[in-house]
């Protein structure tokens, strides 16, 4: 099989395509011929050496993809061979063959393309989990979505649209605002040229927002918390602020960690606000939960509510360009790696 390897921590130049023997499906596993694999911001930070959960290089990362079941391991019905599936895989996803547990693969509806399937699992499960499992998004809510033009951001905008009268404030570079509106954002905000917190406050008034989805981290968690109305919730689900210019900068890292606010239960009680954390990578053993959420997403897709937006497609041999697109913040929606 061929896979995109991170040979050591560093810039895009450390990525290499290598050939190794195909894996053999173990008990309860499916062997999948990959048609498209998803690239996520987490994998960019894994390459930079800033993602604590990632395996040590040399390694193959990648959390998701879509393809066709080519073989099954002991205990799995041979009837699954030939099935079109999207799947989660804990690393090893940037390869043209993967083996995953049967429960981690979901049959795709006929209308779903492999590219759409590969764009769905991480981004849409994360957004769905935050909006409907951790929070209970209700009609009339006001939601602030950071990194709104990215993969999770796009999924969050589309999912907010499934609930009536939700007002969404989305932060993104100005040239991505037309895209944001198409995906359902009510108020795109150019966080690069103005203070987004002041802008949200101006738009929403003293009422404040009900929900903040924040994968920026550091001082932004404090700003988001202050924007919440009583009963509001901030969900912390990433720390993108630690990644700058593709390089690890110790002083920058230290500054970001110093800015992380400390909240006590007393603060939260007296403010009537909530803070939640989400790391889908740590819900790995919650197969029932992930299956239920995946099925809900398939239903929403089939009803025409979700349309994964793939805006970057790169063969494995050009993986460095794919990583650079995400790293430099040029992407809108999803970037995929395609077997050559």
Place of tokens 């499992």: 133
| Given 215, 233, 306, 338, the residue binding ligand NAP (CB under 6 A) | 215
Cα-based torsion angle of the residue sequence 134, 156, 204, 147 in order, rounded to the nearest 10 degrees: 110
When asked if residue 122 is in the footprint of ligand NAP (CB under 6 A), the reply is yes
When asked if residue 166 is in the footprint of ligand NAP (CB under 6 A), the reply is no
| Given 240, 290, 310, 337, the residue binding ligand NAP (CB under 6 A) | 240
DSSP sequence for 134-193? IS---TT-EEEESSTTSHHHHHHHHHHTTSTT-EEEEE--GGGHHHHHHHT-SEEE-TTT
Query: Using CB under 6 A, which of the segments 10-18, 195-203, 250-258, 277-285 binds ligand NAP?
Result: 277-285
When asked if residue 218 is in the footprint of ligand NAP (CB under 6 A), the reply is no
Q: With beta carbons less than 8 A apart as the criterion, state whether 45 and 51 touch.
A: yes
When asked if residue 150 is in the footprint of ligand NAP (CB under 6 A), the reply is yes
Closest Cα to residue 64, out of 126, 118, 22, 102?
A: 118
Sign of CA dihedral 47, 53, 54, 57: positive
When asked if residue 173 is in the footprint of ligand NAP (CB under 6 A), the reply is yes
When asked if residue 275 is in the footprint of ligand NAP (CB under 6 A), the reply is no
| Given 42, 61, 100, 144, the residue binding ligand NAP (CB under 6 A) | 42
Closer CB to ligand NAP, residue 95 or residue 290?
290
Closest Cα to residue 32, out of 88, 110, 75?
A: 88
| Given 71, 233, 326, 336, the residue binding ligand NAP (CB under 6 A) | 326
Residue 240 token pair: 């993108």
Closer CB to ligand NAP, residue 44 or residue 100?
44
Closer CB to ligand NAP, residue 28 or residue 246?
246
Q: How many residues bind ligand NAP (CB under 6 A)?
A: 29
Q: With beta carbons less than 8 A apart as the criterion, state whether 83 and 52 touch.
A: no
When asked if residue 331 is in the footprint of ligand NAP (CB under 6 A), the reply is yes
| Given 40, 48, 104, 158, the residue binding ligand NAP (CB under 6 A) | 40
Which residues, numbered 44-83, are part of the site for ligand NAP (CB under 6 A)?
none
Q: Which residues of 279-290 are buried (b: 16+ CB within 10 A; e: fewer)?
A: ebbebeeeeeeb
| Given 29, 32, 41, 108, the residue binding ligand NAP (CB under 6 A) | 41
CA separation for the pair 165, 210 (Å, rounded): 13
When asked if residue 329 is in the footprint of ligand NAP (CB under 6 A), the reply is yes
Closer CB to ligand NAP, residue 92 or residue 153?
153
State whether residue 252 is helix, strand or coil: helix
Q: Note the residues at the interface with ligand NAP (CB under 6 A).
A: 40-42, 122-123, 126, 147, 149-153, 172-173, 176, 215-216, 237-238, 240-241, 243, 278-281, 326, 329, 331
């Amino acid at each position: 099989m061929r896979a995109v390897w991170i040979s050591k921590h560093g810039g895009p130049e450390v990525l290499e395509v290598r050939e190794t023997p195909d894996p053999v499906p173990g008990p309860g596993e499916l062997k999948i011929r990959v048609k498209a694999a998803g690239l996520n911001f987490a994998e960019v930070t894994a390459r930079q050496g800033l993602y604590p959960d990632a395996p040590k290089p040399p390694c193959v990362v990648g959390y998701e993809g879509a393809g066709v079941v080519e073989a099954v391991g002991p205990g799995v019905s041979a009837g699954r061979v030939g099935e079109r599936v999207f799947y989660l895989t804990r690393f090893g996803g940037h390869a043209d063959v993967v083996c995953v547990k049967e429960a981690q693969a979901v049959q795709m509806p006929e209308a779903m393309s492999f590219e759409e399937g590969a764009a769905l699992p991480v981004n849409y499960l994360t957004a769905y989990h935050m909006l409907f499992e951790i929070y209970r998004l209700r009609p009339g809510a006001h939601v602030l979505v950071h990194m709104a033009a990215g993969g999770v951001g796009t999924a969050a905008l589309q999912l907010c649209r499934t609930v009536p009268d939700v007002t969404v404030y989305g932060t993104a570079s100005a040239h991505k605002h037309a895209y944001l509106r198409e995906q359902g954002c009510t108020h795109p905000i150019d966080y690069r040229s103005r203070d987004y917190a002041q802008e949200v406050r101006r738009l929403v008034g003293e009422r404040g927002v009900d929900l903040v989805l924040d994968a920026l981290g550091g001082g932004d968690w404090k700003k988001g918390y202050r924007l919440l109305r009583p009963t509001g919730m901030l969900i912390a689900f990433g720390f993108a602020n630690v990644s700058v210019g593709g390089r690890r900068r110790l002083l920058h890292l230290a500054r970001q960690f110093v800015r992380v606010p400390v909240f006590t239960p007393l603060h939260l009680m007296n403010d009537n606000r909530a803070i939640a954390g989400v790391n889908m990578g740590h819900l790995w053993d919650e197969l029932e939960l992930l299956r239920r959420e995946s099925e809900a997403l398939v239903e929403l897709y089939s009803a025409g509510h979700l349309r994964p937006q793939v805006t970057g497609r790169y063969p494995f041999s050009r993986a460095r360009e794919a990583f650079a697109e995400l790293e430099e913040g040029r992407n809108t929606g999803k970037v995929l790696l395609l077997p050559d």
